[in-house]
A = this chain, B = another copy of it.
Amino acid sequence: MSGQPIDFYFEFASPYGYLASLEIENVAEKYGRTVNWRPFMLGAAFKVTNSAPNMTIPMKGDYLARDIVRCAKMMNVPIVIPDVSPMNSLAAMRAFYWLNEADPEVAVKLAKGVFRAHWAEGRDLSPAEAVAAEAAALDIDANALIEAIQDPTIKELLKQETQTGIDRGAFGSPFFFVDGEAYWGHDRMGQIEYHLEHGGI
Q: What 0/1 readout, one digit per residue, does chain A (163-201) give for beta carbons within 8 Å of chain B?
A: 000100101100000000010110110010010000001
Q: Which candidate, A59-67, A102-110, A112-120, A126-134, is the interface stretch facing chain B?
A: A59-67
A182-B66, A184-B67, A201-B74 as given contacts; A49 in contact with B45, CB under 8 Å:
no
Copies in the complex: 2
Measured as residues with beta carbon below 8 angstroms from the partner, the interface class of chain A is 20 to 34
Q: Give the CA-CA distance A57 to B50 in the complex, in Å.
A: 8
Q: Is A30 an interface residue when CB atoms closer than 8 A count as contact?
A: no
Contact A58 B49 (CB under 8 A): yes
A48-B58, A48-B59, A57-B49 as given contacts; A74 in contact with B171, CB under 8 Å:
no
Contact A191 B58 (CB under 8 A): no
Q: What 0/1 readout, one digit per residue, does chain A (129-160) give for beta carbons within 8 Å of chain B?
A: 00000000000000000000000000000000
Contact B187 A63 (CB under 8 A): no
The B-contacting residues of A in range 31-82, CB under 8 angstroms, are 45, 48-52, 57-60, 62-63, 66-67, 70-71, 73-74
Which A residues are closer than 8 A to B by beta carbons?
45, 48-52, 57-60, 62-63, 66-67, 70-71, 73-74, 166, 169, 171-172, 182, 184-185, 187-188, 191, 194, 201
Q: List 29 A-B residue pairs with CB atoms under 8 Å apart, sorted by A's residue number.
A: A45-B59, A48-B58, A48-B59, A49-B57, A49-B58, A49-B59, A50-B52, A50-B57, A50-B58, A51-B51, A51-B57, A59-B169, A59-B171, A60-B172, A62-B169, A63-B169, A63-B171, A63-B182, A67-B184, A67-B188, A70-B191, A70-B201, A71-B191, A73-B201, A74-B191, A74-B194, A74-B201, A187-B187, A187-B188
